[in-house]
């Protein structure tokens, strides 16, 4: 008896087409999520390498479902308030710190040094979480403590990952201060931030505190700007420069993995979706 496979083949092709349509729709949403402002259909088409007809079809479907909106008297599209509601709902059930904690614990186990999570608060860098060193002797620090951005690994990582305007604003403020935050040599600070950008991680080689060495890397969000930064910190006799540099690839990979979970996508990494 011959089995008729026409129906199953058609169903399979239909499922594949549905999956492809969903993937295309999600690439539109992700693009609007990453971009700083609304985009036209033409800009979306060019950025995603999709034909204009396909993009219009996707935009119409997403607009109909209320996920994308087109402001009055405008040819551009942007995410709707549904995403704000979704973010609010998600924040009620999922904690940012709990989501990141396993990555911090992994780095602490790998390095056996203290792992910090920090953010910029105005012109301070603030420790918002930490995992203690597994060694008997570690580095003393407290959650909530504040540091100087341009001398610490956390701060340097955050400044390096931020737009130049953020660094310019920080240096203007730091130049005018009369306390330990004051910057007297702007060229040196800018050079260190540029080195951080070039090598992909920040380094505090006993610059902030004698006897303490730190390695840092920013975690990026969907917009490509930093959400926070992760650092490895240890006593310099044990956490040598060679040891810090050897751990840099693991720190970079971990920070990039967390970044992807928060919507970041490396430039040029997305494979074009066939139109």
pLDDT, tens digit (0-9, with 9 covering 90-100), for 195-253: 999 999 999 999 988 999 999 999 998 888 899 999 999 999 999 999 999 999 999 99
End of a domain among 63, 88, 113? 88
pLDDT-derived band at 12, boundaries 50, 70, 90: low
Say yes or no: 143 and 67 in one domain.
Answer: no
Say yes or no: 120 and 249 in one domain.
Answer: yes
Strands in 212-220's sheet, in edge-to-edge order, are: 146-147, 124-131, 114-121, 226-235, 212-220, 202-205
Helical H segments across 65-152, by residue range = 82-93, 96-111
Give a yes or no: residue 267 inside a domain. Answer: no
pLDDT-derived band at 13, boundaries 50, 70, 90: very low
Say yes or no: 77 and 25 in one domain.
Answer: yes
Say yes or no: 69 and 191 in one domain.
Answer: no
Tens digits of residue pLDDT in 232-243? 999 999 999 999
* pLDDT attached to residue 275: 40
Compute the radius of gyration of the chain from its Cα atoms.
23
Give a yes or no: residue 157 inside a domain. Answer: yes
CATH number of residue 21's parent domain: 1.10.10.10
Say yes or no: 100 and 202 in one domain.
Answer: yes
Say yes or no: 32 and 17 in one domain.
Answer: yes
Give a yes or no: residue 1 inside a domain. Answer: no
Give a yes or no: residue 268 inside a domain. Answer: no
Give the Cβ contact number of residue 46 at 10 Å: 13
Say yes or no: 139 and 255 in one domain.
Answer: yes
Say yes or no: 72 and 132 in one domain.
Answer: no
Say yes or no: 53 and 138 in one domain.
Answer: no
Least confident of 8-22, 57-71, 185-199, 225-239: 8-22
Supply the range of the domain harboring residue 223: 95-261
End of a domain among 71, 88, 105? 88
End of a domain among 88, 105, 131? 88
CATH number of residue 127's parent domain: 3.30.450.40
Give a yes or no: residue 205 inside a domain. Answer: yes
Give a yes or no: residue 273 inside a domain. Answer: no
Give a yes or no: residue 57 inside a domain. Answer: yes
* pLDDT attached to residue 240: 96
* pLDDT attached to residue 7: 57
Residue located via tokens 């924040």: 91
Say yes or no: 162 and 68 in one domain.
Answer: no
Say yes or no: 120 and 218 in one domain.
Answer: yes
* pLDDT attached to residue 44: 87
Pairing of strands 39-40, 68-69: unpaired
Say yes or no: 18 and 38 in one domain.
Answer: yes
Give a yes or no: residue 266 inside a domain. Answer: no
Return the structure tokens found at 33.
């999520």
Mean of pLDDT over the chain: 84
Q: How many domains does the chain have?
A: 2
Residue 241 to residue 250: CA distance in whole angstroms: 15
């Amino acid at each position: 008896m011959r089995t008729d496979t026409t129906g199953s083949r058609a169903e399979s092709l239909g499922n594949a087409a549905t999956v492809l349509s969903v993937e295309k729709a999600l690439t539109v949403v992700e693009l609007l999520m990453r971009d700083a402002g609304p985009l036209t259909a033409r800009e979306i088409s060019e950025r995603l390498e999709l034909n204009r007809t396909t993009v219009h079809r996707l935009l119409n479907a997403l607009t109909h479902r209320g996920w994308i909106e087109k402001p009055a008297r405008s040819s551009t599209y942007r995410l709707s308030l549904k995403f704000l509601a979704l973010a609010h709902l998600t924040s009620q059930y999922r904690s940012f710190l709990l989501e990141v904690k396993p990555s911090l614990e992994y780095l602490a186990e790998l390095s056996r040094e203290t792992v910090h999570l920090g953010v910029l608060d105005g012109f301070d860098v603030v420790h918002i979480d930490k995992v203690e060193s597994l060694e008997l002797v570690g580095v003393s620090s407290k959650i909530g403590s504040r540091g100087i951005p341009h001398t610490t690994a956390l701060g340097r990582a955050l400044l390096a990952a931020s737009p130049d305007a953020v660094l310019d604003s920080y240096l203007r403020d730091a130049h005018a201060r009369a306390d330990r935050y004051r910057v007297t040599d702007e060229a040196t600070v800018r050079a260190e931030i540029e080195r951080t950008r070039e090598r992909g991680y920040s380094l505090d080689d006993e610059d902030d505190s004698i006897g303490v060495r730190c390695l840092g890397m920013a975690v990026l969000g969907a917009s490509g700007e930093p959400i926070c930064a992760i650092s490895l910190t240890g006593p310099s006799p044990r956490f040598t420069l060679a040891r810090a540099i050897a751990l840099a690839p693991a720190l970079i990979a971990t920070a990039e993995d967390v970044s992807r979970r928060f919507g970041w996508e490396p430039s040029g990494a997305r494979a074009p979706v066939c139109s």
